[in-house]
Amino acid sequence: MAVPRKKISKSRRDMRRSHLALTATNVVACPNCGESKLPHHLCKNCGVYNGRQILKDKRQVA
């Protein structure tokens, strides 16, 4: 069985893991309804993308 010759120091171990941190998802407010959405994506609440109505508004359909 393979065994490391020397103990990996905490500093070296932590430097290796420095890229594993989680990052928060970037969200922006929809300029039409104010609901939070992903940038460069269609707003799921009002159906507007880039100032244009793409989907029917859920509030009008219901």
Statement: residue 28 has pLDDT above 90: yes
Output the pLDDT for position 57: 64
Output the pLDDT for position 56: 82
- Nearest-CA neighbor of 46 among 38, 60, 13? 60
For residue 18, give both structure tokens. 């420095």
DSSP 48: E
CB 54 within 8 A of CB 42: yes
Q: How far apart, in whole angstroms, are the C-alpha atoms of residue 21 and residue 41? A: 25
Output the pLDDT for position 62: 47
In the chain the first and final C-alpha atoms are separated, in Å, by: 66
